[in-house]
Structure 1
Amino acid sequence: MKEDFLHYLWKFKKFDVLNLQTTNQEQVTIHSVGQYLELAGPDFFNAQISIGSQKWAGNVEIHIKSSDWYVHHHERDSAYDNVILHVVWEHDAEILRPDNSEIPVLELKNYVDKNVFVNYQSLVAPKSWIYCEKELATIDSFLFKNWQERLFFERLERKSKFIYDLLQQTNNDWEAVLFCLLAKNFGLNTNGQAFLQIAQSLPFSVIRKESFEVENLESLLFGTSGLLDSEKEDNYYKDLKFRFFYLLHKYQLDKGYAVPVEFFKHRPDNFPTIRLSQLANLYHLHQNLFSKIVAAKTVPELYDLFQIETAPYWQDHYQFDKVSPKKKKRLSHSFIDLLLINTIVPLRFAYAKSQGSEIAEDLIALLTEVVSEKNSVIDKFKSFGIKSKSAFESQSLLQLKNEYCTKSKCLHCAIGVELLKSTSV
């Protein structure tokens, strides 16, 4: 038994509301269950309840046992002084207010249908991956679709917090925010944090000014990453190193500490040298990239913006001083999809929100055109009959797994609530 279950029962009145009595046999009538806050303090704010002949307005606190009031030290917290009803599963102790008056108690176990409790126990019984894995495919498609949309925007809201932090750090420069986000996602999981630190350590005003020479952009990115810290015979390496120290002096930049990047366990096309060169080339080819991304109406338009490759030197190199077979190293279609999912859509969502614009349907339509991500979570959902055909669906499923299933928040999930309504789970 968890308090979440009791919150669910109270919020949706899943008990016999017509015959309620306190543990002191006073009649209870619920006019309003109150607002479910999920914050510090009482569980439900501003409820309206009649107890006996007296109507009350105040807060409701919910526990498994009455004695949990003292376990959680609510008697020391003035936020609980206005509790008008203590709702518990099992009443095992009298609870007094600071003025020594007794708080009325409603013992719910006497009013809950046995099937509701059986359904709850079945829902939260240990399963191999998630609690409702065997019932997922039975959920009504309309309900599931609506829940997917909610999950999708919850995920965007979460990602927006990081974007707004960056916006504050860059003095509200959306172009600079985009540069930081792209850098992070060009680095993928292994080098993402390092690439972000590189981008944050370089004033974007310098990137703007030097974007007309791709070698200057490379020198700034490579130099800040520490890739130019050694001595090599390679002429291109020497040129980048010269440019880097010239630009440090020109803009009075502090070299600071190098941000180390990883080559280990990467396929050569994902080496930091290749990804940083591609990032430099992107900003060499596109000034005002943020404006172009916001203005793009379709997925093909966005794909066109990212049709980039490395500087010519990297066509036959993956590392300095080591020649490799010649190959144009363009951004792959799947890599651009990751940029759309993790950078472009969250950025457009955050920007529209900051401008008071509504583009929810546009973003859903955009990611519906992008193929689903492929990972172990999406594969697992597929094995339970939930197929993901687009990035919109895969992002929703990742939010579902990470924020609800993994955290056992079944009673906050539309699927869990729907299953509890069944006669059996």
Structure 2
Amino acid sequence: MTEEFLYHIWQFKLFSKRDLFTTDHQEIAILKSGIHNKNSGPDFLNAQLKINKQFWAGNVEMHVKSSDWYLHKHEEDVNFEAVILHVVWEYDSIIYMKNNQPLPTFELKNFVDEKLLTNYNRLIYSKQNWIPCDKQIQNIPKFLINNWLERLYFERLEQKSVFIKELLAQANHDFEAVLFQLIAKNFGLKVNGDSFLQLAKSIDFSVVRKERFDEQKLIALFFGQAGFFEEDIQCEYFSSLKSEYEYLKHKYKLQPISRNNFQFFRMRPQNFPTIRIVQLAALFFTHQNLFSKLMSTSKKEDFYKLFSFDIQEFWKTHYTFESESKKSTKKLSKSFIDLLLINTIIPLKFVYLRSRGEVEEESLLHLIQQISSEKNSIIDQFSVLKIKSQNALESQALIELKNNYCTKKRCLHCAIGNNLLRK
């Protein structure tokens, strides 16, 4: 038994409400169970009870054993002086208040259905299961799962919003600057994401605004800040960029980061940092009002058009400065643009619209549901359990479900877990 489960039982009244008595045989009537307090102090605030037909308003404290009151030293804490009922699973000790009167105590264990306890133990103490309910989740009604996944998707959006708000605070709430940083991070993918973010942060976005009308200068700026000109490469194109960067570095008093931050090892050539840097420069050169365009676009196909642009001719036959390769356009793939939409565009749009009081949840849902489901080990394993992801909303929600509920065994906070508990 855990205190968390006791909170759940009390909050949702999952016990028999008939013939309730305190441990000293006083009749109890629960009018309001109170508001669950997740901060310090009693567990439930502003409860309303009748004890022996006398009305009481105050707080409720819960413990597995009544003696835990003294173990936690509540008798020394003034915050517990307004407790009107002590709810415990097991009554093993009388608790006295400061006036030397016994604290009314309700022993819960004899009023809870055994099936509820069995279901709880099956979930929480399951071993060797990928998720606690992997033997039962197939029996959950489809409509319940769909509603829960939609809610989980917005939880995931909220979590991504925290990081975006931190960037906004650092950038004086300049949404264009934060868009640049987030897109740069996503261009780096998992391996180089943090390095690309560091690169973007090393350049005040006012510099990008001034130089974005000249693609050559943008490319020089990004490669220079990434530390690529620390090398000595015999290439005319490389030398011209390096010379351009030296001028920009002096003009804007720039400090580059280290070239060693960027990884090429075991990466596909189209994901090389060199190609992603060039594409990043081409994007901000092609769309000099990119933020406003992204915020006003709502259809997946229109986003694909926005992210379709050409790169300089040199890079159509190169993946690095040194070696020539077969000519290719090196366009952003639709799957890559999907990742940008999932991880950057939609979360930023959510924060931006909320800042203006204009959040339209239905339009965001419609957009994320247009995007194909992600493919990863979590989605594959849910598919084995016959929970198949149909679109990016569901894949994002299933990732949230696995990482923040199943792995942490937060079944009491999960709609699926609650359904199984009460069967």
2:10 aligns with 10
1:213 aligns with 2:246: no
Counterpart of 1:38 in 2: which secondary structure?
A: coil
Counterpart of 1:183 in 2: which secondary structure?
A: helix
2:317 aligns with 316
1:20 aligns with 20
Q: Deviations over 1:267-322 (max 9, x none)?
A: 11111111111111100100111100111121111111111353322212222212
2:50 aligns with 50
Q: Deviations over 1:70-128 (max 9, x none)?
A: 44444444333322222111122333445544332211101111111112122222242
1:69 aligns with 2:69: yes
1:345 aligns with 346
Q: Deviations over 1:255-275 (max 9, x none)?
A: 466671111221111111111
**5+ unaligned residues in a row in structure 1: which ranges?**
none
Query: How big is the shift at 1:53?
Result: 3.2
| Number of aligned residues | 422
Task: Determine the C-alpha separation between the residues in 2 that align with 1:379 and 1:251.
Answer: 49
1:163 aligns with 2:164: yes
2:205 aligns with 204
Identity among equivalent positions (%) equals 50
Note if contact 2:29-2:49 (Cα within 8 Å) is conserved in structure 1: yes
Counterpart of 2:48 in 1: which secondary structure?
A: strand
Query: How big is the shift at 1:197?
Result: 1.2
Structure 1 letter corresponding to 2:401:
L
Alignment of 1:26-425 (within 5 A): 26-124=26-124, 125-255=126-256, 260-422=261-423
Structure 1 letter corresponding to 2:43:
D
Cα 1:274/1:74, change in 2 over 3 Å: farther
Cα 1:240/1:67, change in 2 over 3 Å: farther
Cα 1:385/1:42, change in 2 over 3 Å: same
**Deviating more after overlay: 396-405 vs 259-268:** 259-268
**Deviating more after overlay: 196-205 vs 34-43:** 34-43
- Alignment RMSD, CA only? 1.7
Structure 1 letter corresponding to 2:51:
I
Cα 1:40/1:257, change in 2 over 3 Å: farther
Structure 1 letter corresponding to 2:193:
G
Task: Determine the C-alpha separation between the residues in 2 that align with 1:273 and 1:256.
Answer: 15
Query: How big is the shift at 1:334?
Result: 0.5
Q: Give the alignment's TM-score, normalised by structure 1.
A: 0.95
Task: Determine the C-alpha separation between the residues in 2 that align with 1:179 and 1:93.
Answer: 62
**Deviating more after overlay: 373-382 vs 14-23:** 14-23
Task: Determine the C-alpha separation between the residues in 2 that align with 1:211 and 1:250.
Answer: 15
Structure 2 letter corresponding to 1:165:
E
Q: Give the alignment's TM-score, normalised by structure 2.
A: 0.95
Counterpart of 1:318 in 2: which secondary structure?
A: coil
Structure 2 letter corresponding to 1:17:
K
Counterpart of 2:373 in 1: which secondary structure?
A: coil
Cα 1:322/1:27, change in 2 over 3 Å: same
Counterpart of 2:24 in 1: which secondary structure?
A: coil
Counterpart of 2:228 in 1: which secondary structure?
A: coil
